[in-house]
């Protein structure tokens, strides 16, 4: 019996039991649709996290005081005073893989403008910080290197701060606000970045020259961190190495001494985030895959019923010359067709489900390989769960089968 | 025994068949020997338990003897594998069953084509051609594309007979082929079998109905797994005549 005829027989068998075939397909449809939707949500979230992180700049490198966490009692890194302005200056003079460097000192507290006040964070930076974190100014200008040199009492404010302190839609540029009683003249308002993927308001900040913050606000001589950006994303690793060398030399750390600073790249963070998302995706997909297993068992059940029901047909086919192989192929093809048809419908449902998810603003993206994988899995289910019923049919005794009541 | 110069189609030589049921051994066939020549119309009769079904399974190569030899068209069946017997059935035997065993919701032509589906030597065109020829031979040339569930019992059995003819078999094996039909249709079937016999077909008709024996050329009676009688039917009746004498069906 050639394939075309087998195909016709299987098609007829499925078609003559439309409702039953559909019910057994339903398991596969739901399973595949679930896998597709889970994968697309997983993939979509991963992409959206990546996008969020790369919006912050993918080539950012952060240097913090204190060693990496490796056991033992550690002090709060913010209380450590190992990063100095000298480190910043050394980096500035020796850098080759790094484009921008900005030392950072931070403080948080109340910002006040007249009767309005808001709780916010103050970042002491250089103008290069704007490049590193990809900030843009909506109104006004960035403070200048000159302002940094002169410890000028100027600042840039985020949109949230602007909205809180100037609720009546006044233009904040040129106005003076107070942070911890230090008056700062607003030279520009930052373009909004919105919330990041961790749910933090990125616009609730004030940026001022780091010299101003260090000397006038905090009166401290050490830095909380140094932000740099690598020339390109690919050079991040080289840049991290370079920074490590510069700082170790500057901190006079000998051969095997532990670093008294930590360098983190955005790239690294992104990988951590991605792998977290991957884990979640895998868990979701495995859960969905179990429904495919159940669906396979459903198909096996239906095929066993079908074989029993058609015992006489099997007996007849055998008595007119069908071999066991012909019979088993016939039933195997039928179960494969059920599962593949179910799989295709499942893809369709999954696609529609994905559309529905994105309608509700869930980030989605169907990876191509997930389509191929679910197709392969369906075929496999058809073969695996069709095999036993097909063997049962093929091993029937034609004498008994033909007289089966 | 009939003294014919014709070719031997079937030769059974002391065929025995035992079944082991639990601790007991049932001797269904206790040494059966006979020959069937080409062009014979043999009825095999016997009550239930006489071994006629077992004999039919042997003749139809669905089963193999416990001992003894069975030659179909000169080939020994006893040592054949399942696969070889399937091929043999496909090419040498045409089965007609009591309950027709047509595929449901399938046209006559497709039902008749079925045996050729399992024969690689036929392509789709040749299959169709042979099926139409066989259906015309049983008088269903005008019902080629009727589905099995749209036909009467007599028509279905005709389709089944056409299916048995389509592979041009060495022997047609009919198992109570008129058992499910009313008297009139039964005789119509016998007319058809006699026609096929006249055309030179070899037919073996297994039945428990003694009346059918009157229309065959030879009758073998089984009892307790042995041949009780084997007689040539010298003055066999014409089924067509009997059919003509039957009262016409009265329409309501």
Q: pLDDT (tens digit, 9 = 90+) per residue, B51-67?
A: 898 999 999 999 999 99
Q: Is B198 on the interface with A (CB under 8 A)?
A: no
> In chain A, whose CA is at the least distance from the CA of B101?
A316
Q: Count contacts between A and B (CB, < 8 Å).
A: 56
Residue matched to tokens 């490049």: A131
Q: Is B115 on the interface with A (CB under 8 A)?
A: yes
Using the beta-carbon criterion (under 8 Å), do A321 and B163 form an inter-chain contact?
Answer: no
Q: State the pLDDT at residue A368.
A: 84
Would you state the structure tokens that stand for residue A175, as one six-digit string?
A: 């106005």
Nearest by CB to residue A398, choosing from B62, B87, B118, is: B62
Identify all chain A residues contacting B117, using CB atoms and an 8 Å cutoff: 1, 5
Nearest by CB to residue A326, choosing from B91, B106, B118, is: B118
pLDDT tens string, chain A, 405 residues long: the values are: 678 888 888 888 888 888 999 998 998 999 889 888 888 888 888 888 777 777 666 788 888 887 655 555 555 655 677 888 888 888 888 888 888 899 999 988 889 988 888 999 999 999 988 888 888 888 888 998 899 888 899 999 998 999 888 888 788 888 899 988 889 999 999 998 887 766 788 889 999 999 998 888 888 888 888 988 888 877 888 888 888 888 888 888 877 777 888 888 877 777 777 788 888 888 888 888 788 888 899 999 999 999 999 999 999 999 999 999 999 999 999 999 999 999 999 999 999 999 998 888 777 888 888 888 888 888 899 999 999 999 999 999 999 998 887
Would you state the structure tokens that stand for residue A116, as one six-digit string?
A: 């309005």
Average pLDDT over every residue of B80-97: 93
Q: State the pLDDT at residue A52.
A: 73
For residue B2, what pLDDT band results from cuts at 50, 70 and 90?
very low
Using the beta-carbon criterion (under 8 Å), do A320 and B63 form an inter-chain contact?
Answer: no
Using the beta-carbon criterion (under 8 Å), do A315 and B101 form an inter-chain contact?
Answer: yes
Q: Which of B222, B237, B158 is nearest to B29 (CA)?
A: B222
* Residue B205: strand, helix, or coil: strand
Q: pLDDT (tens digit, 9 = 90+) per residue, A51-63?
A: 777 766 678 888 8
Q: State the pLDDT at residue A72.
A: 56
Q: Is A323 on the interface with B (CB under 8 A)?
A: yes
Using the beta-carbon criterion (under 8 Å), do A323 and B89 form an inter-chain contact?
Answer: no
Residue matched to tokens 């070889």: B84
Q: Is B217 on the interface with A (CB under 8 A)?
A: no
CA torsion angle B3 B4 B8 B10 (round to 10): -50
Identify all chain A residues contacting B119, using CB atoms and an 8 Å cutoff: 321
Residue B102: DSSP 8-state:
P
Q: State the pLDDT at residue A77.
A: 54
Would you state the structure tokens that stand for residue B125, as one six-digit string?
A: 């065109």
Identify all chain B residues contacting A326, using CB atoms and an 8 Å cutoff: 118
- CATH number assigned to the domain covering B8-245: 3.40.50.300
Pairing of strands A60-65, A137-140: unpaired
Instruction: For residues A267 and A57, give the distance between their C-alpha atoms in angstroms, rounded to a whole number.
Output: 9
> In chain A, whose CA is at the least distance from the CA of B90?
A321
Identify all chain B residues contacting A16, using CB atoms and an 8 Å cutoff: 104-105
| ipTM for the complex shown | 0.91
CA atoms within 13 A of residue A115's CA, in its CB half-sphere:
2
CA torsion angle A288 A364 A354 A28 (round to 10): -20
Nearest by CB to residue B103, choosing from A1, A313, A322, is: A313
Instruction: For residues B173 and B61, give the distance between their C-alpha atoms in angstroms, rounded to a whole number.
Output: 11
Q: pLDDT (tens digit, 9 = 90+) per residue, B100-146?
A: 899 988 899 999 999 999 988 999 999 999 999 999 999 999 989 99
With a cut of 60, say whether residue B252 has pLDDT above it: no
Q: State the pLDDT at residue A69.
A: 52
Nearest by CB to residue A321, choosing from B90, B97, B101, is: B90
Using the beta-carbon criterion (under 8 Å), do A5 and B117 form an inter-chain contact?
Answer: yes
> In chain A, whose CA is at the least distance from the CA of B61?
A319
- pLDDT above 70 as % of chain B: 96
Q: Is B90 on the interface with A (CB under 8 A)?
A: yes
Measured in whole angstroms, the distance separating CA A82 from the mean position of its chain's CA atoms is: 34
Nearest by CB to residue B86, choosing from A318, A399, A402, is: A318
Nearest by CB to residue A319, choosing from B60, B103, B104, is: B60
The string over A86-95, giving b where at least 16 C-beta atoms fall within 10 Å of a residue's C-beta and e elsewhere, is ebbebbbeeb
With a cut of 50, say whether residue B1 has pLDDT above it: no
Q: Over chain B, what is the mean pLDDT? A: 90
Cα R_g (chain B), whole angstroms: 18
Q: Is B98 on the interface with A (CB under 8 A)?
A: no
Residue matched to tokens 């700062």: A184
Question: Where do the structural domains in chain B lie, given as residue ranges?
Answer: 8-245
Residue B150: DSSP 8-state:
G
Exposed/middle/buried for residue A11 (C-beta within 10 Å: 0-12, 13-18, 19+): middle
Q: Is B125 on the interface with A (CB under 8 A)?
A: no
Would you state the structure tokens that stand for residue A371, as one six-digit string?
A: 């389509």
* Residue B217: strand, helix, or coil: coil
With a cut of 70, say whether residue B251 has pLDDT above it: no
Identify all chain A residues contacting B105, using CB atoms and an 8 Å cutoff: 12, 16
């Amino acid at each position: 019996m050639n394939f075309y005829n087998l195909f016709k027989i299987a098609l007829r068998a499925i078609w003559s039991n439309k409702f039953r075939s559909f019910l057994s397909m339903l398991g596969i449809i739901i399973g595949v649709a679930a896998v597709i939707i889970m994968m697309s949500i997983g993939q979509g979230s991963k992409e959206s996290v990546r996008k969020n992180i790369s919006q912050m700049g993918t080539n950012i490198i952060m240097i913090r005081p204190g060693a990496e966490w490796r056991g033992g009692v550690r002090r709060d890194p913010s209380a450590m005073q190992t990063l100095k302005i000298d480190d910043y200056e050394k980096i500035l003079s020796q850098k080759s893989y790094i484009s921008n460097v900005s030392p950072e000192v931070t403080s948080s507290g109340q910002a006040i403008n007249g009767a309005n006040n808001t709780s916010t964070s103050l970042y002491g930076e250089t103008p290069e910080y704007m490049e590193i974190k990809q900030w843009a100014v909506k109104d006004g200008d960035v403070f200048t290197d000159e302002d940094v040199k002169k410890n000028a009492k100027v600042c840039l404010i985020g949109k949230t701060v602007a909205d809180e302190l100037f609720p009546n839609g006044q233009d904040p540029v040129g106005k003076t606000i107070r942070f911890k009683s230090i008056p700062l003249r607003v030279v520009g308002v930052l373009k909004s970045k919105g919330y990041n993927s961790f749910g933090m308001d990125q616009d609730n900040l004030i940026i001022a020259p780091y010299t101003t913050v260090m000397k006038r606000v905090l009166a401290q001589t050490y830095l909380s961190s140094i932000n740099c950006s690598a020339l390109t994303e690919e050079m991040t690793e080289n840049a991290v190495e370079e920074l490590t060398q510069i700082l170790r030399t500057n901190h006079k750390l000998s051969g095997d001494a532990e670093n008294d600073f930590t360098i983190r790249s955005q790239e690294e963070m992104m990988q951590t985030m991605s792998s977290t998302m991957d884990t979640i995706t895998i868990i979701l997909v495995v859960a969905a895959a179990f429904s495919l297993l159940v669906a396979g068992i459903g198909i096996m059940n239906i095929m066993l019923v079908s074989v029993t029901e058609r015992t006489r047909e099997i007996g007849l086919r055998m008595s007119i010359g069908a071999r066991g192989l012909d019979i088993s192929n016939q039933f195997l093809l039928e179960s494969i067709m059920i599962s593949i048809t179910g799989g295709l419908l499942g893809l369709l449902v999954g696609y529609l489900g994905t559309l529905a998810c994105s309608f509700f603003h869930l980030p989605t993206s169907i990876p191509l390989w997930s389509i191929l994988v679910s197709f392969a899995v369906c075929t496999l289910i058809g073969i695996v769960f069709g095999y036993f019923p097909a063997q049962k049919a093929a091993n029937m005794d034609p004498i008994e089968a033909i007289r089966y009541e | 025994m009939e003294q014919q110069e014709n070719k031997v189609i079937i030769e059974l030589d002391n065929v025995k068949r035992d079944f082991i049921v639990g601790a007991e051994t049932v001797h269904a066939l206790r040494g059966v020997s006979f020959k069937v020549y080409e062009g014979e119309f043999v009825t095999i009769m016997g009550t239930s338990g006489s071994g006629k079904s077992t004999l039919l399974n042997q003749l139809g190569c669905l089963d193999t003897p416990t001992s003894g030899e069975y030659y179909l068209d000169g080939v020994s069946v006893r040592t054949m594998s399942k696969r070889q017997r399937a091929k043999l059935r496909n090419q040498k035997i045409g089965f007609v069953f009591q309950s027709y065993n047509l595929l449901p919701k399938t046209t006559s032509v497709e039902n008749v084509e079925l045996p050729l589906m399992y024969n690689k030597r036929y392509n789709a065109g040749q299959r169709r051609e042979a099926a139409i020829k066989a259906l015309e031979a049983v008088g269903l040339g005008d019902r080629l594309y009727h589905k099995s569930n749209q036909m009467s019992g007599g028509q279905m059995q005709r389709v089944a007979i056409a299916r048995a003819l389509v592979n041009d078999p060495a022997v047609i094996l009919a198992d109570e082929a008129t058992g499910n039909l009313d008297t009139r249709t039964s005789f119509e079937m016998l007319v058809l079998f006699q026609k096929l016999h006249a055309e030179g077909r070899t037919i073996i008709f297994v039945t428990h109905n003694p009346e059918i024996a009157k229309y065959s050329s030879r009758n073998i009676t089984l009892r307790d797994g042995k041949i009780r009688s084997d007689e040539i039917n010298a003055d066999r009746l014409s089924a067509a005549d009997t059919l003509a004498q039957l009262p016409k069906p009265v329409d309501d």
